Amino acid sequence: MTAVPMIELWRNGMLESSHAGHAVIFGPGGIEAAWGDPAAVIFPRSSCKMLQALPLLESGAAAAAGLTEAQLALACASHNGAAIHTDAVAAWLAALSLGEGDLRCGAHMPQDKAANKALTCSDTAPCQLHNNCSGKHAGFLTLTRHLGAGPEYVELDHPVQRAVKTAFEEVTQETSAGFGIDGCSAPNFACTLTGLARAMQFFATANPEGSAREAAASRLTRAMTAFPELVAGEGRACTELMRAMNGRVAVKTGAEAVFVAILPEQKRGIALKITDGATRASEAAITALLIRLGALDRAGVAGDDDLAKRNWRGLITGEMRRAPGFV
């Protein structure tokens, strides 16, 4: 099966652009709805950070380090690099007697406007704390310290990444088809859309009093919904959507237009991928799916379907719509 149209951009009554993709809603009985090819193999990118954080909790490393819910939210984050993010990661590393130089994620300019302006106006280069994945890497370093492993924790054969791959394959219930190196230099293991949605459904049904893995999954989900501002940041779809759903659903984006959702009350998981990599379309598509399931009933949040598009003067020039046949 091929990707199907999901999101369209209309301007003055004409179809201007169309975004195709794949999506799966996975419930207690398996696949409940699907568009495109449920067996499509993708790199989940940052949408799977919750899976990458499972060994941090399962191993006892999080408990030994006394990690808070806020820190666990950062371990799952693709953050804006605002002060609330960078200060928290710096403090986390300091508590481990480590520093920015121990990270292996690389540096980039922060998406947060205030932080970006401060660096630009002071002619100061960004550091690795500004990397949107620095929280995930602080989690990797916490596990590295707990295991007594070497400093190159992003290497494929490092104990941290071996533990991540094991957890990833067990929760997706698939043998990974391979891996790519993510923007933050860590391995990113491939899976099908169904496997990713199945993993999100596992998080949705995880019993906090159950096995070590279930307890870990439940706690990570709670951390994300309790601190949506740490998972992404102001003006970001993940943060705005979780706020709009009042902590009842966890959502997470990934690069190249991947998006997932964890719906504990419904015991469902969602995974989607827009094949052209357009984030605007993945945000609109996940919003449409959440509305379909009754998890989101508030209009006007980032990525809402049928969302008006405005130009620099504020004039409405078009709108994004759901494609016919999608939800």
Please state, in angstroms and rounded to a whole number, the distance separating the CA atoms of residues 291 and 327: 9
Indicate the average pLDDT of the chain. Answer: 96
* pTM higher than the cut 0.85: yes
Write down the pLDDT at residue 21. 98
If one compares 68 and 304, the residue with the highest pLDDT of the two is: 68
Nearest CA to 45 among 186, 143, 141? 186
pLDDT digits (tens, 9 = 90+) for 203-249: 999 999 999 999 999 999 999 999 999 999 999 999 999 999 999 99
Q: Are 305 and 320 in contact, with CB atoms under 8 Å apart? A: yes
Is the pLDDT assigned to residue 122 strictly greater than 70? Answer: yes
Nearest CA to 267 among 249, 246, 291? 249
Nearest CA to 296 among 254, 227, 237? 237
Range 314-323 burial, b when 16+ CB lie within 10 A, else e: eeeebebbbb
Write down the pLDDT at residue 299. 53
Write down the pLDDT at residue 297. 84
